[in-house]
Amino acid sequence: MKASGNGTPKQCVENLLSLWRYEVPFDRARGIDTRIFDHPANTAEGELRENALWLIRTYETRVNADRVEITVNIAEDGDYYLTASISDREG
């Protein structure tokens, strides 16, 4: 999280997707569920996408979560790359 400039919707979404579940003391549901990463890649991808969409729709109501793309790089290092496409909510 940045020291300042955290108020824009884009930055708030980025901050949300950088949190792990149970990391926020009085809001344990906020963040990505780490148990997803123990599942096989073909099921983890969908779960991670749904988890990210839920986070954005629940905690950042100033944006529309258009889509979330997950890229799994299993052959190289097994990393997951998450990209969220958002737009400002009208009105």
The per-residue DSSP string of 61-82 comes to TTEEEEEEEEEEETTTT-EEEE
Q: What is the pLDDT of residues 56-88, one digit of tens each?
A: 999 998 988 887 777 766 556 667 778 888 888
Q: What is the pLDDT of residues 38-53, one digit of tens each?
A: 888 778 888 888 898 8
Output the pLDDT for position 42: 78
- DSSP structure class, residue 89: P
pLDDT tens digits, 15-38: 898 899 999 999 999 999 989 888
